């Protein structure tokens, strides 16, 4: 009997020892590093501002700082309210710069640079710095062999990713974004972020084939070989083809690069683009097209200014100008819309020149996961009265040609996107959500609450707090996870409600803000060495970078009058894409139901106002802008067009005559949902059933899709 007990004990002993890694309970606070020391542990509190066994006792100056610092919630409240105050602040340059600099500094200080952890090791190693094929991470993984997947909190076994995704994330009914975020924003997000979110699934969920930043590799290709295939080697320009007089990406026959297309897409309809999966969706094709046109337009301007420059220099300088334009648009308009701040964000690299700031960037796996904004994606697309289900949209660039480029952009600006929140991921993308949960488990990523602490926000105390008051979902989450500290990062981010006034939740803002600011401002363009006119071919190029707007980008590169171009549906424009019953109910009423549902929040139109304000300052009339006016007169090709910019959304709508609804409100007749999808050249090989064509986006069955990241 005794022998049996001893035998059992001996059998259990290594298990007990193995299970007793004291770092499993995440004892070290405030970013202290936990090191196991036999049965005990120590926390390395160096430079955390705290001391004590668990780095939880603040040093003197830390306690002062903590006492004085407003909470993230307070700051967010301040920034998204008191519009009258911000209207004043926005007009006082020194105040405005002071605040902008503070935002840059506070946001970027949260990101380790150089990174401390990557997905290849649980601890800091040389490869963390040197091996760029790994995503970096903001928190090390849960130690191996802990009692529960989240360390010590929560259930020993979590429900299947499929169950989690279907219960908490799957769309029952399209929920439109309350801040009127539109499809043009949705595709900007997808197009922009896929230059650096490039998971190398063949190697693993923690690996990347990208280069960790805003490098415009989605336009120019990840490798020099691909870039060379895409270039014409004449006047710096990219290859293109004309379709009905307008410039589009070249055919694959003209620029033989690797692109992912399903077999049914005919050769002539396969396009060569910087990123191999940007043939997937017409929205991505639209952005690829407009940046191609912009590149070639900039080359024309540079060629006129520098007749002695060769193709290579024209190309390289245009690339730098487009990189700058991208950053400017992203900060001024895209992040501005996302944040919902009444403070006007702007891009001024000089604000950081006197500070300790690292001009190097890495993409964090957490940044990738938090950017899985698939709820934005609608299930149907509305263009000029036609409605396309997802199955008719995928790989179907024909509809851009059918409706025309300008009309497509206008339609994207009018269609509302989905709200980033629970139960709003459409059927096509749910598989991605399932995979993301699997990846997080595979990478042993810490839970939502650990990340909240890491990024300076208090962890949720209850499930009800996490769901923003949704008791049913709170109960389901509790059943699934057992402890609010055990809720997985991605799941937590998706079930949170958007923060007041914002497009995304508090955690997405507080985690994404730092990654985003750091990524944009650490671009070499922003360094004191590079940020000067000569980098951009002189003052004219520098001005293009500093004055770029989304509207200019599209309107200068669209033949014919320019339609609505915006990241949100303006308040006086009736959005398309609202759920049918809302849409139907709006028929009988003067003020539509959706107007009540969509909060007329700050910033939707102010973003337009801001551009106009800036344009007035820099080039009230397009023809005063020397580089663009020279372009208009010098370039015989009608590719680029410098329109006088309409003063507001209404004017835009009135001026735009290319088949858009006349009164700004979509009617049942305008959006013929019940009509069969138009015959637009799709071959019969395309799946006929209503299910999303997973064949082409399912990684397990698509041989070419190892690199697809939706």
Contact between 618 and a second copy (CB under 8 A)?
no
Q: Which residues pair with 51 in a beta bridge?
A: 57
- Residue 333 DSSP code: I
Annotation: binding site: 107, 374
Report CA-CA distances (Å) from 132 to 116, 364, 570: 13, 11, 41
Q: Supply 578's token pair.
A: 């609202």
Work out the number of other CB atoms within 10 angstroms of the CB of residue 312: 11
Annotation: binding site for heme b: 374
Contacts of a second copy in 219-278 (CB under 8 A): 224
- Span from 8-16, 304-312, 424-432, 484-492 in contact with a second copy (CB under 8 A): 304-312
Contact between 514 and a second copy (CB under 8 A)?
no
Answer yes or no: are the C-beta atoms of 438 and 197 closer than 8 Å.
no
The single residue among 73, 121, 546, 613 that binds a second copy, judged by CB under 8 A, is 121
**Least spacing, CB of residue 128 vs a second copy, in Å:** 8
Answer yes or no: are the C-beta atoms of 368 and 135 closer than 8 Å.
yes
Contact between 534 and a second copy (CB under 8 A)?
yes
The single residue among 52, 70, 114, 683 that binds a second copy, judged by CB under 8 A, is 114
Is residue 430 classed as helix, strand or coil in its secondary structure? helix
**Least spacing, CB of residue 69 vs a second copy, in Å:** 20
Here's the x/- map for a second copy, 649-688, by CB under 8 A: it reads as ----------------------------------------
- Would you say 98 or 353 has its CB closer to a second copy? 353
What is the Cα–Cα distance from 96 to 345, expressed in whole angstroms? 9
- Span from 524-532, 571-579, 627-635, 656-664 in contact with a second copy (CB under 8 A): 524-532
**Least spacing, CB of residue 657 vs a second copy, in Å:** 40
**Least spacing, CB of residue 225 vs a second copy, in Å:** 12
The single residue among 102, 130, 253, 471 that binds a second copy, judged by CB under 8 A, is 130
- Would you say 43 or 79 has its CB closer to a second copy? 43
- Would you say 214 or 708 has its CB closer to a second copy? 214
The catalytic position among 191, 194, 337, 439 is 194
Contact between 131 and a second copy (CB under 8 A)?
yes
The single residue among 177, 215, 552, 615 that binds a second copy, judged by CB under 8 A, is 215
**Least spacing, CB of residue 604 vs a second copy, in Å:** 34
Is residue 243 classed as helix, strand or coil in its secondary structure? strand
The catalytic position among 117, 135, 371, 696 is 371
Contacts of a second copy in 335-374 (CB under 8 A): 353-360
Question: How many chain residues bind a second copy (CB under 8 A)?
Answer: 58
Q: Is 218 a catalytic residue?
A: no
What is the Cα–Cα distance from 447 to 459, expressed in whole angstroms? 10
Residue written as tokens 């990478």? 443
Pairing type for strands 246-248 and 380-383 reads unpaired
Pairing type for strands 380-383 and 386-389 reads antiparallel
- Would you say 529 or 684 has its CB closer to a second copy? 529
Contact between 302 and a second copy (CB under 8 A)?
no
Q: Is 388 a catalytic residue?
A: no
Annotation: binding site for substrate: 107
- 683 alpha carbon, distance to own chain's centre: 32
Answer yes or no: are the C-beta atoms of 245 and 637 closer than 8 Å.
no
**Least spacing, CB of residue 56 vs a second copy, in Å:** 17
Is residue 182 classed as helix, strand or coil in its secondary structure? strand
Phi, psi of 432 (to 5 degrees): -65, -40
Look at the alpha carbons of 335, 337, 342, 345 in this order and tell me if their dihedral is positive or negative: positive
- Would you say 357 or 381 has its CB closer to a second copy? 357
Report CA-CA distances (Å) from 223 to 203, 218, 220, 469: 19, 11, 8, 48
The single residue among 147, 524, 626, 687 that binds a second copy, judged by CB under 8 A, is 524
Residue written as tokens 């710095």? 129
- Span from 57-65, 246-254, 499-507, 531-539 in contact with a second copy (CB under 8 A): 531-539
Answer yes or no: are the C-beta atoms of 216 and 326 closer than 8 Å.
yes
Contact between 533 and a second copy (CB under 8 A)?
yes
**Least spacing, CB of residue 607 vs a second copy, in Å:** 29
- Span from 149-157, 281-289, 319-327, 453-461 in contact with a second copy (CB under 8 A): 319-327
Contact between 328 and a second copy (CB under 8 A)?
no
Here's the x/- map for a second copy, 46-65, by CB under 8 A: it reads as xx------------------
- Would you say 319 or 403 has its CB closer to a second copy? 319
Contact between 546 and a second copy (CB under 8 A)?
no
**Least spacing, CB of residue 370 vs a second copy, in Å:** 21
What is the Cα–Cα distance from 483 to 486, expressed in whole angstroms? 5
Buried/exposed code over 96-123 (b: 16+ C-beta within 10 A; e: otherwise): beebbbebbbbbbebbbbebbbbbbebe
Look at the alpha carbons of 610, 613, 615, 617 in this order and tell me if their dihedral is positive or negative: negative
Contacts of a second copy in 25-44 (CB under 8 A): 33, 35-36, 38, 42, 44
- Would you say 211 or 597 has its CB closer to a second copy? 211
The single residue among 216, 257, 548, 671 that binds a second copy, judged by CB under 8 A, is 216
Contact between 316 and a second copy (CB under 8 A)?
yes
Q: Supply 174's token pair.
A: 């399209």
Answer yes or no: are the C-beta atoms of 154 and 484 closer than 8 Å.
no
Q: Supply 543's token pair.
A: 């001005």
Here's the x/- map for a second copy, 467-506, by CB under 8 A: it reads as ----------------------------------------
- Would you say 356 or 689 has its CB closer to a second copy? 356
Sequence-ordered list of residues with C-beta below 8 angstroms from that of 542, at least 6 positions apart, any chain: 532, 533, 535, 536
**Least spacing, CB of residue 352 vs a second copy, in Å:** 9
Phi, psi of 176 (to 5 degrees): -75, 150
Work out the number of other CB atoms within 10 angstroms of the CB of residue 508: 21
Phi, psi of 659 (to 5 degrees): 90, 5
**Least spacing, CB of residue 212 vs a second copy, in Å:** 10
Contact between 108 and a second copy (CB under 8 A)?
no
What is the Cα–Cα distance from 601 to 177, expressed in whole angstroms? 11
What is the Cα–Cα distance from 132 to 110, expressed in whole angstroms? 21
- 51 alpha carbon, distance to own chain's centre: 37
- 317 alpha carbon, distance to own chain's centre: 26
Contact between 202 and a second copy (CB under 8 A)?
no
Helix (H) or strand (E) holding 322: helix 311-329
Which positions are catalytic? Answer: 194, 371
Positions in the binding site for a second copy (CB under 8 A): 21, 33, 35-36, 38, 42, 44, 46-47, 112-116, 121-131, 211, 215-216, 224, 306-308, 312-313, 316-317, 319-320, 323, 353-360, 524, 527-535, 538
């Amino acid at each position: 009997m005794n022998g049996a007990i001893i035998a059992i004990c001996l059998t259990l002993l290594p298990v007990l020892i193995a299970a007793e890694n004291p770092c499993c309970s995440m004892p070290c606070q405030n970013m202290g590093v936990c090191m196991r020391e036999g049965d005990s542990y120590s926390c390395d509190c160096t430079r955390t501002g705290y001391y004590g066994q668990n780095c939880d006792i603040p040093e003197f100056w830390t306690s002062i700082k903590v006492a004085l610092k407003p909470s993230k919630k307070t700051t967010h409240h301040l920034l998204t309210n008191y519009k009258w105050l911000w209207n004043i602040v926005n007009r006082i340059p020194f105040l405005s710069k002071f605040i902008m600099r503070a935002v840059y500094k506070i946001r970027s200080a949260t990101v380790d640079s150089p990174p401390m952890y990557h997905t290849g090791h649980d601890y800091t190693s040389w490869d963390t710095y040197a091996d760029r094929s790994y995503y970096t991470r903001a928190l090390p993984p849960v130690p191996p062999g802990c009692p529960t997947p989240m360390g010590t909190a929560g259930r020993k076994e979590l429900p299947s990713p499929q169950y989690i995704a279907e219960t908490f994330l799957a769309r029952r009914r399209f929920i439109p974004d309350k801040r009127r975020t539109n499809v043009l924003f949705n595709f900007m997000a997808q197009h922009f972020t896929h230059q650096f979110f490039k998971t190398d699934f063949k190697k693993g969920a923690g690996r990347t084939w990208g280069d960790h930043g805003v490098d415009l590799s989605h336009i120019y290709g990840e490798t020099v070989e691909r870039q060379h295939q895409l270039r014409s080697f004449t006047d710096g320009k990219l290859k293109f083809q004309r379709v009905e007089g307008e410039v589009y990406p070249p055919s694959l026959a003209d620029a033989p690069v690797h692109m992912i297309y399903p077999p049914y897409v005919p050769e002539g309809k396969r396009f060569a683009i910087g990123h191999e999966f940007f043939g997937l969706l017409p929205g991505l094709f639209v952005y690829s097209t407009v940046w191609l046109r912009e590149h070639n337009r900039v080359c024309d301007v540079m060629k006129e200014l520098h007749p002695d420059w060769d193709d290579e220099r024209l190309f390289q300088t245009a690339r730098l100008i487009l990189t700058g334009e991208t950053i400017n648009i992203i900060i001024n308009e895209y992040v501005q819309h996302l944040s919902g701040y009444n403070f006007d964000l702007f891009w001024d690299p000089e604000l950081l020149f006197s500070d300790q700031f690292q001009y190097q960037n890495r993409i964090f796996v957490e940044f990738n996961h938090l950017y899985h904004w698939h709820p934005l994606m609608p299930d149907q697309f509305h263009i000029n009265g036609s409605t396309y289900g997802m199955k008719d949209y995928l790989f179907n660039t024909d509809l851009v040609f059918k409706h025309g480029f300008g009309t497509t952009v206008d339609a994207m600006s009018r269609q509302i996107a989905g709200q980033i929140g629970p139960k709003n991921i459409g059927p096509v993308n749910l598989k991605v959500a399932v995979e993301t949960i699997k990846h997080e488990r595979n990478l042993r990523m810490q839970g939502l609450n650990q990340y909240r602490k890491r990024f300076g926000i208090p962890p949720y105390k209850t499930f009800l707090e996490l769901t923003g008051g949704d008791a049913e979902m709170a109960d389901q989450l509790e059943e699934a996870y057992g402890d609010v500290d055990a809720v997985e990062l991605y799941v937590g981010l998706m079930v949170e409600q958007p923060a007041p006034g914002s497009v995304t939740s508090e955690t997405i803002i507080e985690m994404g803000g730092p990654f985003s600011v750091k990524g944009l401002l650490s671009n070499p363009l922003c360094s004191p060495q590079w940020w000067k006119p000569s980098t951009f071919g002189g003052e004219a190029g520098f001005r293009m970078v500093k004055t770029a707007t989304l509207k200019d980008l599209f309107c200068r590169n669209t033949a014919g009058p320019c339609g609505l171009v915006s990241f949100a549906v303006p308040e006086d424009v009736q959005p398309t894409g609202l759920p049918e019953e809302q849409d139907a109910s709006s028929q009988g009423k003067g003020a539509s139901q959706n107007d009540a549902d969509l909060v007329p929040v700050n910033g939707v139109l102010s973003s337009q106002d801001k551009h106009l304000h800036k344009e007035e300052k820099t080039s009230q009339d397009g023809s005063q802008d020397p580089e663009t006016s020279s372009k208009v007169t010098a370039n015989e090709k009608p590719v680029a067009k410098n329109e006088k910019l309409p003063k507001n959304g209404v004017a835009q709508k009135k001026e735009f005559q290319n088949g858009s609804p006349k009164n700004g409100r979509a009617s049942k007749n305008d959006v013929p949902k019940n009509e069969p999808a138009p015959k637009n050249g799709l071959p019969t090989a395309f799946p006929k059933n209503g299910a999303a064509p997973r064949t082409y986006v399912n990684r397990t069955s698509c041989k070419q899709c190892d690199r697809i990241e939706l």
